[in-house]
Structure 1
Amino acid sequence: MCAVPDVLTGILRSTREKPGTTAVVVGDEALTYREFETAAAALAARLAAAGVRPGQTVLLYLRQSVRTLVGMAAALRLGAAWCVLEPGHPPERIAALLRDVDCAALVLDGADVPAAPRTARELAAGAPRPLAVLEADGPAPDPAASAPPPPPEPVHGALPAYTITTSGSTGEPKAIVVSRDNLAHMVANRVDEPGLTTFSPCRFTWDGSLMLLFLALCSGGTAVLPDHRGLPDPEAAAALVVHRRAARIAAPPSYYRLMLEHLAPARGHLSEVILAGEAFPASLVAQHRAVLPDTRLRNEYGPTETTVTVLGHPVTGRRPGRPGDPDGSGAAADTGGPVDPAGDVPLGRPTGTTHVHVLDERLVPTPPGTVGELYIGGPQVAQGYAARPAGTARCFVADPFAPGPGARMYRTGDLALVDENGDIRFRGRVDGQLKVRGIRVERHAVESALESHPAVRQAAVLGAPDGHGGTRLVAFWTAAEAALALPGTRELMDLCAERLGEHAVPELLVPVGHMPLAASGKADERALLALLPDTGAAPADGPDGPDGTAGPSGHGWTPLEQAVARLWEKVLQHDDFGPEDSFFSVGGNSRRVVELHLSMQREWPGAVRVGRLFDLDTVPAQAEALSTAATTAPEAPAPAAALTEAEAEAAPAAPADPAPAAAATGPDPAGDDGPGQPDHDRRAGRAAEEQP
């Protein structure tokens, strides 16, 4: 059995001790611990009546909301696992998941997503096992029944807690099974300060969202997250941090960079920021220090297969004390040390009982400073891949360094070294996998998807620098000799989205006359990257669109629409779009929408907030918003979720004159997609909503 408390035990303890405290906030919805427990128990009873048993999986087919969290807790009460997949996820990928996982029930919200019931019925009809379909909001419990729900039966720690999907080399998702013991150890390694209010601007489809969620719930704190409407808007996310007085944040670096300029009012209560899920650009350290000089900054690393994160490095630190005066001397003490802006930030050292090794191909530890493959052992190593014994055996190998028999370690595929300080540093990948905006992308799967088009002969997919410390996905392709017509950018992007999901859509598609080859016979990556246009240059297709029309000027745009369309051209690097096209259906994503917003800010300061561009997603709609703004006051930020009466009484007054953000910490359009989740774009979700 697990040597640390099960997470459900921690949640129930918090409910007994703090029933009236707010447990969870998602957007503008909030539940106290008593309300959260009552709702979870009611849904668990319905799931049990539908036939869900310990060890099975409950598929939460829900947009991000409080209902999703209730579904997670309900599954835990039954000894079942949860798996979150949001509406708009490609049905073929969900069907593949149902083939691999013993899924007994699907929970949906038909009121929120009208197309969800039909999709759920189709999935249930094609599922290999009986699949019960339940509405998230079922019959409410009898209000006259004041007795608390009965405690759940004890369950074994080896049972799965959740299943989460990640990209496989063939393009089909791999379902990673994480046990209750795994999750319990991750939480136990973090509970250092009870009662915290935490914030994670992440989707539940990324395991990084679980980091602070369960830390808060198991220690009597409050977990705050944006809902599906607030996720794309870093300014609204920062407003939620300030309004809820969050003490700890966990986010991908690219999203945090976009929040940072709005976080100066959080100086009085934000004690720590944890960045994880993607490469940490060293330049972000100075920006953080300028805005939040007294807030600790920490880099963390961990594959999904090792339960969130297992390595950590304190980039900046503080000795104990109040913010701004950590040692009582009146002088701030930064213990993080200097950081080379042009260098890399270490992944750090193991947390808790995790142990890591940098090994050569014979599983022999490499000397310090020598690159090898990173292996991770300890109680956070997941159970493996559902229905994939060969893949599990290949990646989850016997641990020769463990004190007892039967232990396993995870082979990450990441290249690393141990530096002179004993910290682990990342040095690349051993395979063709890329991480784009924190999401794993198998580039060979994208190449296969593109080459499935009859007019495409060969494709090469690379990760190219995006100019902001991140990576963008770029595809080069050659035409088949028999092709009568060449596909447009939009057609190829749609093909990748349908086959693999939004996260695998290249940001730029570059047709080439022939594929340059290296001496190995493979595509010459250096030669291909040299073909990329500058981000500020004209689109690769030139002044005319791929179909020979005159780009934006060929659609009868008004002058203002043409000005907006030119900004689209610059950001998207192509002009294959028309008046009715959504920005997100022609290659846009949340990183690019931030770039678009920055361009608009230069031309029309304060005219439209970035969050509105996710709804006003066509050229005419954006032009109309700009025209309207010219005669009205600039938009104010969206209101944050309201505090409960008890919280309002307990919350200290906000500072009368919060320190302004440093002028040098302007937003960086580096992307804001949380790892392990689809882009915060609206293409798939809108398509699902509009189905009859």
Structure 2
Amino acid sequence: MSAVTMIGTGGRETGGDSGGRPAKRSRTAAEPVTVDGLFAHAAARRPSEVVVADGGRPLTYGAARENASRLASVMLRYGVQLGDPVLVHTADHAQSLVAQLAVLALGGVCVPVPDGAGERDAARIAEMSGATLVLCSGVHRERWALDAMVLDDARTWARIAPVRVDGSLPRSGPDDVAYLLTERTEGGGCVGHLVDHRAWLLATGARLRRAGRPGRGVRTGRRPGGALGLAALWWAISAGSRLNGPAAPATGRDQAGAAAVYGPEEYAEFLEGAVTGAPGTALVIGGALPAGLVARHRELLPYTRLLAEFSPRDGAMPWTAADCTSAHADGSGAGSAVPRVRVTVRDEEGRPVPAGATGRIWAAGAALPFDRLCDGCREPAVGHRGSLMSSGYLGRWAGEGSLEITGRTARSAPARSSRSASAFACAAHGAA
């Protein structure tokens, strides 16, 4: 049994409006304005329902809220302040969710580290973010020279259990940075994408409206910490549903009809294998779809809805979206721009090109990361909210405002901005 589920599972879930919390907390009941507020809204309505099944004992909404609140209170005593980055490196999605919620409630910046990240990648993420604390699983503890809280160690929770939830929680605000999403560059470096609460909610809400409510849950074959796992988790939470991770104990009957999130190549491999437990909706997130994927999908899974999101950089924040279920869709188009995102195609000089002409694909908008960090950079912090971001892809506008991907750029465009780790706090709270 995962230690994450040990606290708050015995009917101890309490309402979210007690304990002398700030007045802003009351807004989350009607209209969440932060990522942790979105979860609190869902937890208040279904505290006993499962939010994550991955590995050990299923984690309920109420237990996740209770665990996260106590963990956040301990971290506050430890000295974590508003805008501080905290690494999250866990082996299952249940531990990851509790850690994310705790960091967000503190007004900190959650820095997910992919479960399979090697020592070099982990070190680069830590250096770029400037984090001094990691919330991790026992299997990852030896990779970190930083202070750590091991979330699957019963001794950790034995120390946390007596702690009273701090009355100042939650401390997050809609303009604060919620996540630093990392991306490995072609040269082996690391780039981080700064996402505020508002942008994450805009992207998550638009996904829910497009893809619908996954009543049987969302499943993912990805381990926690990566973009696809995060997208799947928050799609499920925004719908008040559940996430089934790769280690979720489930039968074929339980899996059939559930929604599922894949990367483009991952879904192509799924279709080439023995297709069992067909999802009710397949959501493919990332770069361009492989050639022939849509036709293969129609051949094997004619009753499964196929949706695609073009998310070329951080992988979790879509630029365009397409419904590939319709008969005329062939997979070559990336669809139309999602709400609150402006996509443009430009030549090498940065000038917009006419419809039908090929150029570099750029985008900006409130539903995208507002800035970027890179490792090894030592330039001062400068606000870039609203600036264009290069996709690294070539494309053109086809008919009816649909974006068509034609290939990759010969060389990735430079990052929009370059920040040092010491400038992180300025980026987190001075870029509104």
Measured against the shorter chain, the TM-score band is 0.7 to 0.9
Compared with structure 1, are the counterparts of its residues 278 and 310 closer, same or farther at alpha carbon in structure 2 (3 Å cutoff)? closer
State the distance in 2 between where 1:363 and 1:99 align. 32
Contact 2:194 2:372 in 1 (8 A): yes
Structure 2 residue runs without a partner (length 5+): 1-23, 414-432
1:24 aligns with 2:52: yes
The one-letter code matched in structure 1 to 2:143 is: T
Which moved further from structure 2: 169-178 or 34-43? 169-178
The one-letter code matched in structure 2 to 1:119 is: R
Aligned residue for 2:157, secondary structure, equals coil
Aligned residue for 1:103, secondary structure, equals coil
Aligned residue for 1:139, secondary structure, equals helix
State the distance in 1 between where 2:97 and 2:137 align. 13
Compared with structure 1, are the counterparts of its residues 290 and 38 closer, same or farther at alpha carbon in structure 2 (3 Å cutoff)? same
1:297 aligns with 2:306: yes
The match for 2:174 is: 157
Contact 2:33 2:173 in 1 (8 A): no
Aligned residue for 1:11, secondary structure, equals helix
Contact 1:81 1:163 in 2 (8 A): yes
Compared with structure 1, are the counterparts of its residues 240 and 345 closer, same or farther at alpha carbon in structure 2 (3 Å cutoff)? farther
Aligned residue for 2:401, secondary structure, equals coil
Aligned residue for 1:190, secondary structure, equals helix
**Alignment match of 2:190 (pick from 158, 173, 176):** 173
Shift of 1:56: 1.2
Deviations 1:466-497 (A, max 9, x none): xxxxxxxxxxxxxxxxxxxxxxxxxxxxxxxx
The match for 1:8 is: 36
The match for 2:219 is: 199
Contact 1:310 1:354 in 2 (8 A): yes
State the distance in 2 between where 1:309 and 1:298 align. 12
The one-letter code matched in structure 1 to 2:265 is: S
Compared with structure 1, are the counterparts of its residues 241 and 58 closer, same or farther at alpha carbon in structure 2 (3 Å cutoff)? farther
Shift of 1:180: 1.7
Deviations 1:376-434 (A, max 9, x none): 121123132236697999xx997xxxxxxx63221223111111342111122223469
Aligned residue for 1:155, secondary structure, equals coil
**Alignment match of 2:317 (pick from 305, 308, 315):** 308
Compared with structure 1, are the counterparts of its residues 289 and 391 closer, same or farther at alpha carbon in structure 2 (3 Å cutoff)? farther
- Give the alignment of 1:275-294 within 5 angstroms: 275-294=284-303
Shift of 1:34: 0.8
Aligned residue for 1:89, secondary structure, equals coil
Compared with structure 1, are the counterparts of its residues 375 and 433 closer, same or farther at alpha carbon in structure 2 (3 Å cutoff)? closer
The match for 1:473 is: none
State the distance in 1 between where 2:348 and 2:307 align. 31
State the distance in 2 between where 1:54 and 1:258 align. 43
- Give the alignment of 1:183-222 within 5 angstroms: 183-192=200-209, 193-194=212-213, 196=215, 197-222=217-242
1:54 aligns with 2:71: no
Shift of 1:363: 3.2
- Give the alignment of 1:535-614 within 5 angstroms: none
Aligned residue for 2:399, secondary structure, equals coil
State the distance in 1 between where 2:337 and 2:348 align. 22
1:414 aligns with 2:401: no
The one-letter code matched in structure 2 to 1:184 is: L
Compared with structure 1, are the counterparts of its residues 142 and 412 closer, same or farther at alpha carbon in structure 2 (3 Å cutoff)? closer
Aligned residue for 1:386, secondary structure, equals strand
**Alignment match of 1:429 (pick from 408, 420, 431):** 408
Contact 1:306 1:382 in 2 (8 A): no
State the distance in 2 between where 1:315 and 1:387 align. 35
Compared with structure 1, are the counterparts of its residues 119 and 413 closer, same or farther at alpha carbon in structure 2 (3 Å cutoff)? closer
Shift of 1:219: 2.8
The match for 2:91 is: 63
Compared with structure 1, are the counterparts of its residues 275 and 65 closer, same or farther at alpha carbon in structure 2 (3 Å cutoff)? closer
Contact 2:50 2:61 in 1 (8 A): yes
The one-letter code matched in structure 1 to 2:246 is: P
1:139 aligns with 2:130: no
Structure 1 residue runs without a partner (length 5+): 125-131, 231-235, 317-334, 399-405, 435-692
The match for 1:336 is: 327
**Alignment match of 2:282 (pick from 265, 273, 287):** 273
Contact 1:47 1:105 in 2 (8 A): no
Aligned residue for 2:406, secondary structure, equals strand
The match for 1:251 is: 262
Deviations 1:94-142 (A, max 9, x none): 33333321313112333xx2xx44432xx23xxxxxxx32221312488
State the distance in 2 between where 1:258 and 1:7 align. 33
Contact 1:185 1:380 in 2 (8 A): yes
Contact 1:385 1:392 in 2 (8 A): no
Contact 2:190 2:374 in 1 (8 A): no
Query: Which protein shows a greater Rg?
Result: 1
Contact 1:44 1:77 in 2 (8 A): yes
State the distance in 2 between where 1:302 and 1:221 align. 23
Compared with structure 1, are the counterparts of its residues 50 and 29 closer, same or farther at alpha carbon in structure 2 (3 Å cutoff)? same
Shift of 1:371: 0.5
Deviations 1:68-113 (A, max 9, x none): 2211111111111222335663434333333321313112333xx2
Aligned residue for 1:221, secondary structure, equals coil
1:102 aligns with 2:130: yes
Compared with structure 1, are the counterparts of its residues 144 and 87 closer, same or farther at alpha carbon in structure 2 (3 Å cutoff)? closer
The match for 1:78 is: 106
Shift of 1:21: 0.8
Shift of 1:37: 1.0
**Alignment match of 1:119 (pick from 130, 138, 143):** 143
State the distance in 2 between where 1:203 and 1:191 align. 22
The one-letter code matched in structure 2 to 1:243 is: D
Compared with structure 1, are the counterparts of its residues 305 and 85 closer, same or farther at alpha carbon in structure 2 (3 Å cutoff)? closer
State the distance in 1 between where 2:285 and 2:252 align. 18
Contact 2:90 2:224 in 1 (8 A): no
Deviations 1:287-306 (A, max 9, x none): 32233222211222013348
Contact 1:397 1:409 in 2 (8 A): no
Deviations 1:293-329 (A, max 9, x none): 222112220133485212111111xxxxxxxxxxxxx
Compared with structure 1, are the counterparts of its residues 353 and 119 closer, same or farther at alpha carbon in structure 2 (3 Å cutoff)? closer
Contact 1:42 1:141 in 2 (8 A): no
- Give the alignment of 1:319-334 within 5 angstroms: none
Contact 1:314 1:336 in 2 (8 A): no
- Give the alignment of 1:465-484 within 5 angstroms: none
The one-letter code matched in structure 2 to 1:60 is: V
The match for 2:14 is: none
The one-letter code matched in structure 2 to 1:48 is: L
Contact 1:306 1:410 in 2 (8 A): no
Deviations 1:599-630 (A, max 9, x none): xxxxxxxxxxxxxxxxxxxxxxxxxxxxxxxx
Compared with structure 1, are the counterparts of its residues 83 and 290 closer, same or farther at alpha carbon in structure 2 (3 Å cutoff)? same
1:372 aligns with 2:400: no
Shift of 1:357: 0.8
The one-letter code matched in structure 1 to 2:230 is: L
Aligned residue for 1:259, secondary structure, equals helix
Contact 2:115 2:223 in 1 (8 A): no
The one-letter code matched in structure 2 to 1:295 is: T
Compared with structure 1, are the counterparts of its residues 278 and 241 closer, same or farther at alpha carbon in structure 2 (3 Å cutoff)? farther
